[in-house]
A and B are shown apart, each in its own frame.
Chain A
């Protein structure tokens, strides 16, 4: 109560200037009553940030929803050029990395430094594998001339080699460019979030090795975990929308 009220009497003023009478950990900020309140406030702030991210990715998802309905044949044709094996593998890799991140949060909570570093490094490795597989997929698109822009070719959609594929009229085939634009925008923004996450993970490993998070101050690990799991959730929705729902039968 004292830390929130304004000092009015001389005695109160005096007490507020003096060092705190009670013990508290070094990481507890002075504007918080206790560790629990600080943790609650930090989680709240992180969730509000993640909700702005929901709105950001949500705009892309909404654009995808509208254009997929407008140019359905083009979106089906575009979706079928993606490699479903690589997409499924990447989903599994990302879920594994979410698991190792959850275990890293647990390790910080039970104050095991070595275990925390192990799980953070495993998360870095799995995140890098995801980006590596994504790079292979992007390279395939480059080779096939499926990157939107001057080098984009509608040849594969007007004269498809897949016997199940329905040949598209040139004007509809042009709309596959819109599919690939959204594909690169959505997976690209997702990959950017992964790259930022991996960069933060390197900083966290360096700080964790000095024991920064295993003395009770788990908020940075916990909040980074929230961010990492959010990026996982974005992919959980991207994977069915981009790879699965338009398969040829």
Chain B
């Protein structure tokens, strides 16, 4: 970046992500899309859902870390995102404890 941003405090140092990284992530995402679609036609029982969601989580992590620059961001931002995702998972699991522990569901 410019000399202006160079002299800022190191916590907010700006890292310019280069196009080869974007291109590599882009091609990986396309390959994983093809992979997840292909796997969906193979019968794996409950593992169809597990694998599809695992691939989706991996793709989302790539987008967050590299397209959204979280890998290069400050610890404050990393911790904020982690806290948000943790809260989201907490809300989902607490909701599910209620549904799983009652007789009127199909679980």
Contact = CB atoms under 8 A, between A and B. Distances in A.
B88 A91 contact: no
B101 interface: no
Given A34-B4, A55-B88, A233-B63, A245 B48 contact: yes
A36 B8 contact: yes
Contacts of A109: 1, 14, 16
Interface in A107-162: 109-110
Contact of B13 (A24, A36, A88, A103): A36
Given A226-B68, A244-B36, A39 B16 contact: no
A47 B43 contact: no
Interface residues of A, number: 56
Interface string A189-232: 00000000000000000000000000010000010011001101
Interface in B1-51: 1-2, 4-5, 7-9, 11-14, 16-19, 22-23, 25-26, 29-30, 33-34, 36-37, 40-41, 43, 48-49
A47 B60 CA distance: 15
Which applies to chain B's interface (DSSP): helix, strand, loop or mixed? helix
A13 interface: no
Nearest to A23: B4
14 contacts: A34-B4, A36-B8, A47-B77, A47-B80, A51-B84, A65-B96, A84-B37, A95-B26, A95-B33, A102-B26, A216-B5, A240-B53, A241-B52, A247-B48
Interface of B: 1-2, 4-5, 7-9, 11-14, 16-19, 22-23, 25-26, 29-30, 33-34, 36-37, 40-41, 43, 48-49, 52-53, 55-56, 59-60, 63-64, 67-69, 73-74, 76-77, 80-81, 84-85, 87-88, 91-92, 95-96, 99, 105-107
